[in-house]
A and B are shown apart, each in its own frame.
Chain A
Amino acid sequence: MASLKELKGRINSVKSTQKITKAKQMVAAAKLRKAQAAAEAARPYAERLAEVMGSLASKVSGDSAPRLLAGTGSNQRHLLVVVNTDKGLCGGLNSNIVKEAKAKARALIEDGKDVSFYLVGKKGRAPLKRDYADSIDYQFDTSEVRNPGFEEAAAIAEELIAKYDDGTFDVAHLIYPIFQSALAQEPTAQQIIPVPAPALESAAQSDAVVEYEPGEEEILEALLPRYVKTQLFGAILEIAASEQGASMTAMDNATRNAGELIDKLTIQYNRSRQAAITTELIEIIAGAEAL
């Protein structure tokens, strides 16, 4: 049986832990709202860009298509771009992303492909390194920036496209969580390079005679890198919202667990205090009787 002093110490330590988790939960809730708003605000751009891409890609095809759209002609070397968070305290989010990345890597390796990784965010590094120590080639550090935004996405995209042009890889997949709610973030893998031709929703749209300046191919060539940037920007926004959502849920649970633990410890504390008082009383009575 722990002594009274020990119990008191434990109660205090759990209490201060609870204060931390509660503070983190409230911070995450506030940040989540902001992150969600940012994700929402970015949607019109992505939608319009996809629309334009779709109508252009259907016109420019065959040999004249840019390499970013048509691919290198090979399908051997795959690059997995894994987007993780920089900070912990967000439950199982990062391990779920890593699990998805590993599953994708395993499937590709079983098909006889070469796989390498490009990591964004700190938290995916250690677990991926354990299994694929030699395949982690590049990293992008977002931990120094407070709110990674379009500039970071553009920098990542430019680096990826430069590597693609150098012939470092043939196909790139982006692995990131899609924010569904504070409780659910679904890790997904999506091909970003070569750019998958977006499915045309309205075939009637392409009937209109559109004039292009300078030309369809030039526009498409300017558009594709931008499209990749937008995809990465989307992933960065999703990870930001997912991180806050997961953090909020995890910290809510932690706060509740701490509360339960405090209750239990308090009961134990009171019991042993009572026991100590009873023993003392018995001793006094026994002493008095002996006189």
Chain B
Amino acid sequence: MPLHFELVTPARLVRSDDVHMVIVPGAEGEFGVMEGHAPFMSTIRDGALMVYKTENGTPEEIQVQGGFAEVGANGLTVLAEHVEG
């Protein structure tokens, strides 16, 4: 089951994808989100999001700065102030 993942900055919608898992650098430690995760909200610190497209694939790193992550019924949404690249 894929997880719907969205990465949004004030300027644009950076990513809107179905992925396997995303590891988010939360303010109180990293956490991984997969499909079916319980509703959850956390602020994030500056760091890299690890996006696993498939279960055994190599993760894609996205550097983000400032923001928060929300896990809801429609997947994971990361609102970041700044995204590198």
Interface residues of chain A, those whose CB is within 8 Å of chain B, are: 38, 41-42, 44-46, 48-49, 52, 149-150, 153-154, 208-214, 218-219, 222-223, 226, 229-230, 233
Cβ distance B63 to chain A, nearest Cβ, rounded Å: 17
Top 8 A-B residue pairs of the complex, sorted by shortest distance between their CB atoms: A213-B42, A41-B12, A210-B39, A150-B10, A45-B8, A44-B13, A211-B40, A208-B39
Bound together, the chains give a CA A150 to CA B81 distance in angstroms of 9
- Per a CB cutoff under 8 Å, which of B12, B39, B41 touches A42? B12
Cβ distance A54 to chain B, nearest Cβ, rounded Å: 12
- In the bound complex, residues from chain B placing their C-beta under 8 Å from that of A210 are 39-41, 72
B28 touching A150, Cβ below 8 Å: no
Cβ distance A107 to chain B, nearest Cβ, rounded Å: 32
A219 touching B13, Cβ below 8 Å: no
If A45-B11, A219-B68 are given as contacts, then 7 extra A-B residue pairs at C-beta distance below 8 Å, sorted by A number, are A42-B12, A45-B8, A45-B9, A52-B70, A52-B79, A210-B39, A213-B41
Cβ distance B76 to chain A, nearest Cβ, rounded Å: 12
Which residue of A is nearest B31, CB measured? A213
Cβ distance B5 to chain A, nearest Cβ, rounded Å: 13
Q: Which of B1-22 contact A (CB under 8 A)?
A: 6, 8-13
Bound together, the chains give a CA A147 to CA B38 distance in angstroms of 41
15 residue pairs of the A-B complex, CB under 8 angstroms, read A41-B13, A44-B6, A45-B10, A48-B77, A49-B79, A52-B68, A153-B10, A210-B41, A211-B40, A211-B41, A213-B27, A213-B40, A213-B42, A214-B28, A223-B68
Which residue of B is nearest A208, CB measured? B39
- Per a CB cutoff under 8 Å, which of A41, A46, A219 touches B43? A219
- In the bound complex, residues from chain A placing their C-beta under 8 Å from that of B40 are 210-213
Bound together, the chains give a CA A69 to CA B8 distance in angstroms of 24
Known A-B contacts A48-B79, A214-B28, A226-B81; A233 and B39 likewise in contact (beta carbons under 8 Å): no
B26 close to A (CB within 8 Å): yes
Cβ distance A234 to chain B, nearest Cβ, rounded Å: 9
B62 close to A (CB within 8 Å): no
A222 touching B68, Cβ below 8 Å: yes
Cβ distance B21 to chain A, nearest Cβ, rounded Å: 18
A48 touching B41, Cβ below 8 Å: no
Which residue of A is nearest B39, CB measured? A210
- Per a CB cutoff under 8 Å, which of A42, A209, A219 touches B11? A42
- In the bound complex, residues from chain B placing their C-beta under 8 Å from that of A226 are 66-67, 81
- Per a CB cutoff under 8 Å, which of B10, B38, B79 touches A211? B38
- In the bound complex, residues from chain A placing their C-beta under 8 Å from that of B77 are 48
A211 touching B39, Cβ below 8 Å: yes
- In the bound complex, residues from chain B placing their C-beta under 8 Å from that of A154 are 81
- In the bound complex, residues from chain B placing their C-beta under 8 Å from that of A149 are 11
Bound together, the chains give a CA A46 to CA B11 distance in angstroms of 10
- In the bound complex, residues from chain A placing their C-beta under 8 Å from that of B72 are 208, 210
Bound together, the chains give a CA A223 to CA B69 distance in angstroms of 11
- In the bound complex, residues from chain A placing their C-beta under 8 Å from that of B9 are 45
